Amino acid sequence: MEAGDRAAAGAAACGNRARWRGVLGDWAATRAYCRLIARKSEAECRHGTINRLTVGFFWTILISSSQSSELTTLTNHSVPTLGDLEIAVLEDIWRFGPSDTKAVYSRIGQSRSISLNTVQSTLERLFRKAMLQREKISHAYEYSARVSRRELIQKLVESTVRRVAGPQPDALLSAFVDLAARADDDQLKRLEELIARRRAELDQP
């Protein structure tokens, strides 16, 4: 990248950061935004048009911030640690609905160069972590999502805020602003509209 291009990119990022600090304002509005994005991401996933900016941000929280390794239920105070393959399988189940091991393998196994047994063990881990439920049909288990995308993302955000930010969430808010600064103008406009809508809802008696 040429020096001029780097300077332009840096200026754009700084402008976006300043823009987001003004838009997000207080932490309560940021948390409201997170819930709205979770709802929107779930709808986009159902239609196969996932916005990788917003979804990627929350999956980053999932990978880097979750600490509990084994759960029997998804509670308000704990979320599971999920690896890249577990996330891919969960995404697949959310998108295509109840599926057995062979169906999941046919969609993601070969593209990832993994075996049928690996897909099976991943589904089993997700079941143990209370991400999936299963029902035996004939000689095979059919797996379905136990929690929705929205529910999981909301738990992840709340858990991260509780454990990392505490009573002083400035650092977490600053990190979010830095991530949002990478968005293009169209994405920023969409996020601003979501925040404005949520603030209007909060202002209603």
Instruction: Supply the pLDDT for residue 69.
Output: 37
Residue 31, both tokens: 């948390």
- What single string gives the DSSP state of each residue in 142-187? EEEESS-HHHHHHHHHHHHIIIIITT-THHHHHHHHHHHTTS-HHH
Instruction: Supply the pLDDT for residue 8.
Output: 55
Instruction: Supply the pLDDT for residue 53.
Output: 42
What is the second-level CATH architecture of the domain 84-145?
Orthogonal Bundle (1.10)
Instruction: Supply the pLDDT for residue 2.
Output: 60
Residue ranges of domains in the chain:
3-74+149-203, 84-145
The DSSP code for 73 is S
Work out the pLDDT band at 65, boundaries 50, 70, 90. Answer: very low
Q: How far apart are CA 61 and CA 18, in angstroms?
A: 23
Instruction: Supply the pLDDT for residue 121.
Output: 97
Residue 92, pLDDT above cutoff 90? yes
- What single string gives the DSSP state of each residue in 28-44? HHHHHHHHHHHHHHHHH
Q: How far apart are CA 149 and CA 17, in angstroms?
A: 28
CA distances from 46 to 91, 93, 125, 177 (A): 10, 10, 24, 28
Q: How far apart are CA 183 and CA 167, in angstroms?
A: 28
pLDDT tens for 93-137 read: 999 999 999 999 999 998 899 999 999 999 999 999 999 999 999
The arithmetic mean of pLDDT across residues 188-199, rounded, is: 81
Work out the pLDDT band at 80, boundaries 50, 70, 90. Answer: confident
In 3D space, the residue among 129, 100, 138, 134 whose CA is nearest the CA of residue 116 turns out to be 100
Instruction: Supply the pLDDT for residue 98.
Output: 96
Residue 1, pLDDT above cutoff 60? no
- Cβ atoms of 157 and 58 within 8 Å: the answer is yes
The arithmetic mean of pLDDT across residues 135-156, rounded, is: 89
